[in-house]
Amino acid sequence: MMVRFSEIINIKDDIEKDAGTSVTNEREDQLWLSGSQIIRKAGEDVVTEIPHTSIRDHVSLEAVKYFEKLIDGAQELRGRVLNDQGISPSPILADLHYVIDNALVDEINEFAMSSPDTYDWMLLHTVRVTIASIKIGKGMGYDTKGLLELGLAAFMENVGMYKIPDFIQNKKEKLKPEEISIIKQHPKIGFQILSKLGGRYGWLS
């Protein structure tokens, strides 16, 4: 079960409506997740899958929205790769551009690094690496164009892993030599996928 933080916010709003209270403009821009009443109403699944200590008390809804848009973008990318469909970096670039222009990088980075593993681990890893890379680029003085290229490269860096069978990726036991050999193919697979983009994205491969 994947529980989105935006869904918990909807639960919070329902609680406040039931109580006859209104949400101030300030609170409309914040996530207030520390109330045990919210967790109880969300259900036991939320309690067991989202440790209370991992939930930040104050995160802007805009940051959560774009964190989840990036998660969705990674999921869409994986689906297209698995189905041998063409991929386009344009939607991801648009989201990254918004994140950079609206100074959401630091907040999304903190949120992503503290998010529980209720998200698919590969998708969460993709977003974490992408945002952390942009954060490093900012520290090194990259301009917007450089940050976008860095972020896109980070977002695509594991694209070949989407072709690796789930039973290998999610295996808890020690991998067999033949399974390790399969995983080692993911850079080559990624190159083959990205090289098909050509044109303005040829540099990715």
- How many angstroms separate the CA atoms of 205 and 184, rounded? 17
As given in the structure block, the two tokens for residue 144 are: 């917007």
- How many angstroms separate the CA atoms of 47 and 59, rounded? 19
Q: Out of 9-13, 142-146, 157-161, which region has the weakest mean confidence (pLDDT)?
A: 9-13
pLDDT, residue 68, reads 93
pLDDT, residue 59, reads 75
> Is the pTM higher than 0.75?
no
pLDDT, residue 132, reads 95
- How many angstroms separate the CA atoms of 95 and 99, rounded? 6
Q: For residues 82 and 130, is the Cβ–Cβ distance under 8 A?
A: no
Query: Nearest 5°: CA angle at 113, between 101 and 90?
Result: 40
Write the CB contacts of 123 (distance below 8 Å, at least 6 apart in sequence).
71, 74, 75, 78
